[in-house]
Amino acid sequence: MKFSPLVDDLIKALQCLPGVGPRSAQRMAFQLLERDRQGGARLGDALATAMREVGHCRQCRTYTEQDLCQICANPKRGETGQLCVVESPADLLAIESAGQYAGRYFVLMGHLSPLDGIGPDDIGLDSLDAMLAAESWREVILATNPTVEGDATAQYIADMAREHGAEISRIAHGVPVGGELEYVDGTTLALSFSGRKKL
């Protein structure tokens, strides 16, 4: 014995969300049915619309339902001649929230991972190559994650971008602000020493 078909469907469908198993799905379904039908209906609409209409920006590949995302469509963002390469739209948002960077982005939507069969074309490096060739860039900033795959991807893009004559940089890695040296791992500490600056 289970619930009625519609409630069962809802509980099953909720389990497509990351980190949601049968128990949490049941709790979510009951919470929505009991206390927040409006919110549930709004979520249903938002999901249907987003899944149908959100695509990728023609230039930078981040999520947008328009042809160009808000950043690519803003002519001011192109004036700096800087292009920042990130792995995901979430990384893009984190950098935007920091408020330091005013140039454009390119979102790989992943990283090179030959073991998983993810090659250069799967992360849009052909588009990036075309983009580097089409405009003249002052600087390409590689902001992929400091993981083995992220570093390899950065290295690959650096080699590619060098042919187009742009200056290439990699974001700094080291001890995070507010972190305590005692708890920072060895690799990060080693990077923070090799990347030290003269005062």
Binding positions for its own copies, rule: CB under 8 A: 1-7, 9-10, 12-14, 16-19, 24, 26-34, 36-37, 39-54, 62-66, 69-71, 88-90, 93, 96, 109
CA distance 174 to 187: 9
* Smallest separation (angstroms) from its own copies to the CB of 120: 19
Of 24 and 127, CB closest to its own copies: 24
* Smallest separation (angstroms) from its own copies to the CB of 108: 12
* Smallest separation (angstroms) from its own copies to the CB of 99: 9
CA distance 158 to 98: 24
Q: Which of 94, 91, 96, 104 is nearest to 166 (CA)?
A: 104
Rg (Cα) of the chain, in Å, rounded? 22
Of 30 and 156, CB closest to its own copies: 30
Angle between the N-to-C axes of helices 37-53 and 22-35, in degrees from 0 to 180, rounded to the nearest 10: 120
CA distance 84 to 171: 10
* Smallest separation (angstroms) from its own copies to the CB of 69: 6
Of 49 and 187, CB closest to its own copies: 49
Of 14 and 84, CB closest to its own copies: 14
Contacts of 181 (CB under 8 A, 6+ apart): 175, 189
